[in-house]
Amino acid sequence: MQIEVEINNNKINAVKGQTILDALKKNGIKIPTLCRLEDFTPTGACRLCVVEVEGMDNLVPSCSYPLEEGMKIRTHSQRVIEARKMIVELLLSNHPDDCLYCERNGNCELQNLAAELNIRERRIAGKKNKAKLDLSSPGIVHDPEKCVLCGRCIRICEDIVSITTLEFRGRGNNTSVSTAMNKGLNFSSCVQCGQCILVCPTGALHEKSYFDLIQETLGNKDGITTVAHYSSSVVVTLAEEFGLKPGKQIVGLINAALRKIGFDMVFDGSFGSDIYVMEQAAELEDRLDKEENLPLLSSSCPAWIKDVEQSYPDLLPYLSTVKSPEQITGAVIKRYCRETENKSKNDIFSVAITPCPAKKFEAQRQEMAQKGIPDIDVVLTTRELARLIKLYGIDIHALEPESANVPFNKSSSSGKLMASVGGTGEAVLRTLHKNVTGTDMTYPKFGKLRGTKEFKELSLQVGHHQLNMTSVSPLKKVKDILPDIRNEGCHYHYLEVMACPGGCVNGGGQPFYTESKTLRDRTKAIHNIDEKSAVQFSHNNKVVRDFYSQYLGEPYGGESRKVLHTQYTKRDILL
C-alpha cells in the first residue's frame, strides 16, 4: 500500500510496512548503520540508525521501525547527529587506541563512522575492557578488545554457516563474543571458514598472518627455492583490492607481481584443481561400480571436512579421499621440484594464495605433511596478497602480464570453475562422462548446478549410470539434507559442499565488499572464463596428462593414491 510520509520536510511516497531505513535509502539519504546485516531481521542493537519521528518521546531506530502514514521524520537534526556522535564516542571510549597498528586500518567501519560524524575530541573516557587475544587458531585471530558487539559474526556463524561457534558470553559491559566454555578458536567447533571476518566491521576478527616468515625466507634464501601458487578464485577477486572492477581477471599481473616480490617460481594452482577433478571422477566411478559409500561427498572445502569430522563422523566413509586442490598442488610441487632439480623437500618454500582461512588450518594438518614436512609452508589469503604486493612497493597497474612457470602454467577451465558453487560438480561430471563413455560432452554446461539456490540437483544419464549430482552451499544447508544422505535409499550420488555461500569466490579470505553485485560479478567472471576457454575439460589439459604419464600413473591408481589421497578421522570437540 502506498502511503505518504514527510522526510526532512519533503513529502515522499513510500510503501507501508517498509522500514524507515529502506525508504530513506531509496530517496538517497544515507544513514549510518552498524549492527544491520542485509537480509537479516534487524536486532536494533547499535542505535546508530536512529532518526527523529515527530510525536515520539525517543529517537527510533530506522532499520527496524516500519513506516506509517503521515510520519514526519528528521534524519539529520541536531538532536540526531549529537546522539549518533555520542554513540560512536561511547564505542571509542572502550576501544583500543591502536588504529595505526590494526589490520583494518583504512578499511574499518568504526574509523569511517568516527570520521563521518566528525569526532575530533575525546569527550568521554574511562576504563576499557581487557581481553586476551586469541591466537590459538592457525586461520583466524580473534581480538575481543576491538569488538563492538554488533553481533554480525554471530549471526553469520549461526544462520549461514550453522556451526554456531560464536555467541555472546556474559552480559552488560562484560559481554564478549566467545566460543562455548570460552575456549580458544582452535579448540572449538570453528571450521575457520572466515565468513565472520567478512562481516566484522572492525579488526576484531581477521586472518592470521605469516608475513614475517615469508619476508624472512624471501630475504634470506640461501639455497631455498621459493614457490608461490594461487587458487583459481584469487584470479578474479584480487583486482578489487586495487580499485579495479569486481570480476576482472588479472592472472598475468599476479604472476608478474609475485615474481617481483621475489618468488623463484609462480604456478597456477588451477592445475591442482584439474588433478582433483581427475581423481574425484575416477573415485566416483569406482564407487558407482562397486555401489558402495554413495553419495560421494566432495572434499575440496577444508571447512566442510572439519565439520564432517566433528559433527557427522558417521559420514566419514562417504567423504572423498582426494586432497583439496591447493594441497594437491602443494604435494605435487614438492615432489616435482625434488625430482627435477634434485632438491630435498626441505629446500622448497611453498606459499599458497587462497581465498580462505580454513586453508591455513588445512595446511598444518598432519595429514598434509610427509615425514613431518608440510606440503605447503604458508597460506595467504587474497587480502594478504594485496598487502604483500603493497609492502613490496609494487604498482600493479604498471606491470606487464606474465605467464606462470612451466610446467604448471596451464589449466583447463574446469579447474577454474571450482571457484564458484556448483563448479566442482560440473567439472567432475565432465571427466566422468569421458571416462564412462569415452567421449567429451558436446555442451558441458549445467545451469541446474549454477545459481544462488542453496541446494541444487541435477539428474542425468552418463553411460549406463543414472546420476544424481547435487551441490550444497552454504554449510547450514547440509543439516537439512542430512536425513536424506543417511537414508538407506538415498538417491544422490555426488554431493558437492561449499561452506561459504557462493563458493570460494566468496571465501572468508576474499576482499571485503558491501554490495551483493560484487559477488555476482565474481561468479560471472568464472563462468566467462569457462565459456571462452579452449580447454574445458580437466582430462584434456595436456600438462596434466603428461604429468600423470610421467609420475602418477593412472588416476586413483597406486602412486596417486599415495600422494593425492588421505584419510580423515573423527574429532572430539565440544559442539
Positions that interact with ligand FES (CB under 6 A):
33-36, 42, 44-49, 61, 63
Q: What is the distance between the alpha carbons of residues 311 and 28, in angstroms, rounded to a whole number?
A: 46
Q: What is the CA radius of gyration of the chain?
A: 25
Measured on CA atoms in the order 327, 328, 333, 339, is the torsion positive or negative? positive
Q: What is the distance between the alpha carbons of residues 411 and 338, in angstroms, rounded to a whole number?
A: 22
Binders in 163-182 for ligand SF4, by CB under 6 A: 177
Instruction: Assess 181 for contact with another protein (CB under 8 A).
Output: yes
Partner touching 289 among another protein, ligand SF4, ligand FES, none, CB below 5 to 8 Å by kind: none
Cβ at position 260, least distance to ligand FES in Å: 43
Total number of residues binding another protein (CB under 8 A)? 53
Cβ at position 97, least distance to ligand SF4 in Å: 17
Strand pairing category for 465-472 and 494-497:
parallel
Instruction: Assess 571 for contact with another protein (CB under 8 A).
Output: no
Q: What is the distance between the alpha carbons of residues 183 and 263, in angstroms, rounded to a whole number?
A: 38
Cβ at position 143, least distance to ligand SF4 in Å: 8
Q: Are 177 and 134 in contact (CB under 8 A)?
A: no
Q: What is the distance between the alpha carbons of residues 60 and 39, in angstroms, rounded to a whole number?
A: 20
Partner touching 409 among ligand SF4, another protein, ligand FES, none, CB below 5 to 8 Å by kind: none
Cβ at position 164, least distance to ligand SF4 in Å: 13
DSSP letter for each residue of 324-367: PHHHHHHHHHHHHHHHHH---GGGEEEEEEES-HHHHHHHTSGG
| Of positions 74, 76, 169, 445, contacts another protein by CB under 8 A | 169
What's the one-letter identity of residue 197?
A: I
Cβ at position 150, least distance to ligand FES in Å: 7
Residue closer to ligand SF4 by CB (options 199, 472) is 199
Binders in 274-303 for another protein, by CB under 8 A: none
Residue span 200-239 as binding mask against ligand SF4, x where in contact by CB under 6 A, dash where not: xxx-xx----------------------------------
Instruction: Assess 249 for contact with another protein (CB under 8 A).
Output: no
Cβ at position 498, least distance to ligand FES in Å: 29
CB atoms within 10 A of CB 532: 9
Q: What is the distance between the alpha carbons of residues 568 and 548, in angstroms, rounded to a whole number?
A: 25
Instruction: Assess 150 for contact with ligand SF4 (CB under 6 A).
Output: yes
Residue span 100-139 as binding mask against another protein, x where in contact by CB under 8 A, dash where not: ----------------------xxxxxx------------
Alpha-carbon separation of residue 442 from 420, 433, 436, 529 (angstroms): 22, 11, 15, 17
Instruction: Assess 225 for contact with another protein (CB under 8 A).
Output: no
Q: Which three cell numbers stand for residue 225?
A: 627455492
DSSP letter for each residue of 484-513: HHHSTT----EEEE-SSTTSGGG-TTSPP-
Binders in 450-469 for ligand SF4, by CB under 6 A: none
Q: Which residue has the cell 598472518?
A: 209
Residue closer to ligand FES by CB (options 35, 353) is 35
Alpha-carbon separation of residue 125 from 112, 128, 172 (angstroms): 20, 9, 18
Which residues are at the interface with ligand SF4 (CB under 6 A)?
147-153, 177, 199-202, 204-205
Which residues are at the interface with another protein (CB under 8 A)?
42-48, 50, 58-59, 61, 64-66, 79, 82-83, 86-87, 90-91, 93-94, 122-127, 148-149, 163-175, 178-182, 188-189, 574-575
